[in-house]
Structure formats: C-alpha cells, structure tokens
Amino acid sequence: MHLLRSGVAICVFSCVLAVPFWAAQKDQKPRERVSVPARLMSARYAAIDCDACPRALAKAGISAREVLLSWNRFTIMEDRKKADLIFLVSANPYLGDYLTRDGPDTRPVFINGVILTVIDARTGQALWTDSRQSGSWRVVGATKDLIEELRTQVDSQTNRWAFDEIFRCSGTPPYQSFAFATPEEALAKTQLGVARIAERTDRLNIVSAGVPGFCRKAQLVIGPNNKIIGFEVEVPPGENLDIGELLERADQFEFTSDKDKQSQKVRFTARTRDGKILIEYEMNGRQSILSRVSYFY
C-alpha cells in the first residue's frame, strides 16, 4: 500500500514537472528572421536613446554605446536630430510615437529584460526590434547580445563583391557600344532599356543582362561635349568591396582623399593609372564603404 502511494506520488510529481516542460517546448517556435530594411542598411549616423532607463537599465545605454562604437559602422551623434537612426533601449515595447509624443516615455518600468528598437529618425518607424528577458541583473550582456544579433543580420545581407568581378565590368561590349555617342544616339538603343534620369541631365539609366552582375544597372555619363564618356555604378546599400583587396593591388592605382562639397563626407578614391576605372569609398569613422565605381572609355 505504501509502495502504491509512493508510486502514485512519484507519478503525480513527475507529471507536474513534465507538463510545463512540454508546454514550454511547444511554445518555443523558431523565430522567423526578417530582412533588415534598406533604410537601416544605408544609414551612417545613429543616436542612442535610453531616457526611460531607470536603475539597472541605465547600464544598457552605456553598453549600447560601447558595442556600437566597437562595431564602427555608425557615427554616434549626440544630437538626435542629426541622426539617421535612433537606437532606443527600453523595458517597454515601442509604441511608434517617437516623433509625436510630448517628452520622454512616462510609462511605469518593470525591469525584467531589455528591448532594443532601431527607429528611422525621420519617420519614427521601427525598422528592427528584438528583446532579451534576462532580468535586471544582466542588462549589459542582453544589450550586447541584441546589437550583435543585429550586426550578424546586417553582415549576412551585405553582398561582398570580389575585386575581379568589379574589374570585369570595364570594357564590356554592350556598354562599349555607347562610347562617345550622343545622348540622342544612346536613347535610340531601346533594346538596352536606356532612359534619362529625370532630375539630372548628365546621366542616362541603362540596364543590360549581358554584363557582369555588379554593373548590370548603371548610368551612362554624359561629358561636357555632350558625348558619353563612360558609365557609373552607384553601389546600393548592403554591397561592398573589402578595401583590403584594393590595397593588395596598390601598385595599379593612384589614391586621393577629399570631402564631398554637398554632404561634407570624407571620400577616399582610387583611380587606375590608365584613368579607366575610379573606385570611390565613403569614410564613416574608420570604416570604408564602397559608394560608386566609374568606368571611362
């Protein structure tokens, strides 16, 4: 009888323990990883907002700054109005009201984890968000984990071109056929989808499947004599050429640096010694970001 009761007790105790474990396993569905928006991929300036970070959560703001500085992808701005992105650290979910609310978030804060929301500073739209339910004692580690997760996603979406792929665009027959033609002659070649850029008079859009992938979408450059002198690829967000590959071929290039008159951003350029290819990087702190490649006839 005692054995029977003990067996029943063990069974009941085991079942009580097993049900939550089974339920927890059932509820843990794999997260669907959403693509990082182009706006986030192309951003250069970021600000950190941890205004609603009382007590232990204040450490999350400090941790966010340290990790973002070590990532070296963004220039950290003290003035949020000058930033492209706002890294909002909080314990409460973002309500989408960053640009419309009057003052800091005044909701009560119960610190049982960290929420990181990356916000478009111009629109207030949440571009990326995730959280860690780690308790108040591990907000530093949780914040680092969140930013590292974002970094992994951004890196996975960055298309890293090889130097040879970019170099092969020079001299491709479809684009060479436009050498020193007039814009009118180029526009007559409708089979290649040539069209003017509405806001500019010195460029013609062109799309061709018969060229390497890097320069499949380009712009024909119209020179001062109204003749096409080359073509240019403006590198979209999420694409890059490791500057190390370029520096390995330093003997083939002449290097210069200056500041863009409009954006005031520092540029680093490398021109082949024959003047046929110009590779331009935009400098963001110590990070070099491929911005455009021009090919000349």
User: How far apart (Å, rounded) are the C-alpha atoms in residues 186 and 179?
Assistant: 10
Span 178-189, mean pLDDT? 90
pLDDT at 122: 94
How many CA within 13 A on the CB side of residue 8? Answer: 5
The pLDDT of residue 191 is 67
According to the model, what pLDDT value does residue 25 have? 35
Q: Of the CATH numbers 2.60.40, 3.40.50, 3.30.70, 4.10.640, which one belongs to the domain with range 38-156?
A: 3.40.50
**Rounded mean pLDDT, 180-191:** 85
Give 205's pLDDT tier (boundaries 50, 70, 90): very high
Q: What percent of the chain has pLDDT over 70?
A: 86
Please give the share of the chain, as a percent, with pLDDT higher than 90. 46
Strand order in the sheet with 195-196: 195-196, 203-207, 217-222, 228-234, 287-296, 277-284, 266-272, 253-259
End-to-end CA distance of the chain: 98
Does residue 135 have a pLDDT over 60? yes
pLDDT per residue as tens digits for the range 266-295? 889 999 999 999 999 988 767 788 999 999
pTM above 0.75, yes or no: no
Chain-centre distance for alpha carbon 89: 19
> In the predicted model, what is the mean pLDDT of residues 95-103?
88
Length of the chain: 297
Q: Which of 94, 89, 65, 88 is nearest to 77 (CA)?
A: 65
Task: Provide the pLDDT for residue 32.
Answer: 55
Angstrom CA distances, 211 to 55, 176, 285, 290, stand at 58, 11, 34, 20
Mean residue pLDDT across the chain = 83
pLDDT at 57 over 80: yes
Mean pLDDT highest for which of 68-77, 114-123, 187-196, 202-211? 114-123
* Domain assignments of the chain as residue spans, ordered by start: 38-156, 161-296
- Is residue 11 very low, low, confident or very high in pLDDT (cuts 50, 70, 90)? very low
pLDDT band at 210 (very low <50, low <70, confident <90, very high): confident
